[in-house]
Amino acid sequence: MRNAIFISSGIGNALLLVPLIKKLKEQGPLTALSTSEFGARQIFDGVKEELFDDVISLETSVEWMKNTATFKRKFDGVYMDHFASRRKNMILSHMNSKEIITNTIPLKLPSLFKSRIRKIEPEIGIHEATQYMRYVNHDFNDSDLNEKLFKLSAKKHTSISEGKYITIQPGSGNNIAPWKTLATNKWTKLISLILESYTDLNIVVLGDESEIDLIPFLPKDDRVIKAIGKTELKDLPGIVSKSIVHIGNDSGIMHLAGCIGTPTVSVWGGSDPDLYGWHKINSKKHKVIHYNLGCGPCSRWIEPNHSKVEVPSMCPDFKCLSQISVNEIMKNVEPFLAP
């Protein structure tokens, strides 16, 4: 069988597709159709596994016009997540595949283009990776999730730090998702506390160019390696793979750490740890800090909780995040740093 899968989201959601990608790869040749504006497919350039037989970029209007004009290959199936399920993707897939497998059908999609769709109904409380694995196995459950399904191996990378280090990402969501991002001053305090408590440990602070404004708030210490905006996506797997533990918000790098095998301590606000969290894969290796205040999760694609606000960014207090203390994060980090 020859299949195709859309890569249309940010890094985190793309990595949660890995178990499905591996399963499809077992069935035969697999093509990645990349429409992600966040360069998510580039994260796979930093791993040893050859997950795709080819990659077709549809990320810009020029690429879309160029590549779809001669897009005559026939796929047995085209697989889409929620982010990929847009009308133009559906129409393209209808013309070039026997079947479209998705969990979302876009509004106002003409009936003509629905005939080949097989919709897998999403289910609240089920992990995102499980939702996707049900595309190929309807009996798959969260209890079937394990690290082997996600496992990726980083390509060799020149060390970013001499000696032992941990990684921290104080930002999240390309710095436009305050409902996912713990206050900067708390990250500053946490970094200072780790520096004081573990004098032989370096801290590599990661993030993309949208998070550069966070740099002035970081402690001025030679052991703090400020790599925000200075790393390419393909280099991240190598950097994160050598980290003792990754600490951060619900973000793409956190999901990368999980796939690479690095332990994580993650802070959650308005997004849903039951849908995206790594504690469901290995609760000993991945610690989740989250307060369920009854108004969340306000940010998820499956029936978000709008009891407090319709739009997560309009929350007046982000109390789910403000209640999380530096000491609580430190308490979860310490077991990973113990001799």
Q: What pLDDT digit, counting tens, does each position of 276-285 carry?
A: 999 999 999 9
Q: Are residues 175 and 138 part of one domain?
A: no
Tokens of 62: 């020029």
Choose the final residue of a domain: 150, 174, 194.
150
Question: Is residue 87 a part of any domain in this protein?
Answer: yes
The residues facing 288 across adjacent strands are 266
Contact 224, 195 (CB under 8 A): yes
- On the CB side of 129, how many CA atoms lie within 13 Å of its CA? 31
Q: Are residues 14 and 128 part of one domain?
A: yes
**pLDDT in the model for residue 161:** 86
Q: Give the C-alpha separation, 110 to 132, whole Å.
A: 25
Q: Give the C-alpha separation, 218 to 203, whole Å.
A: 11
**pLDDT in the model for residue 70:** 67
Q: Are residues 312 and 183 part of one domain?
A: yes
Q: Are residues 132 and 40 part of one domain?
A: yes
Domain extent at residue 115: 3-150
pTM > 0.85: yes or no: yes
What values do phi and psi take at 257, rounded to 5? Answer: -55, -45
Overall domain count for the chain:
2
Listed as ranges, residues in the chain with pLDDT below 50 are: none
Could you check whether the bond before residue 219 is cis, i.e. omega within 30 degrees of 0? no
Q: In what order do the strands lie in the sheet with 264-268?
A: 224-226, 202-205, 165-169, 246-249, 264-268, 286-290
Q: In what order do the strands lie in the sheet with 117-119?
A: 54-57, 30-34, 3-7, 77-79, 100-102, 117-119
Question: Is residue 160 a part of any domain in this protein?
Answer: no
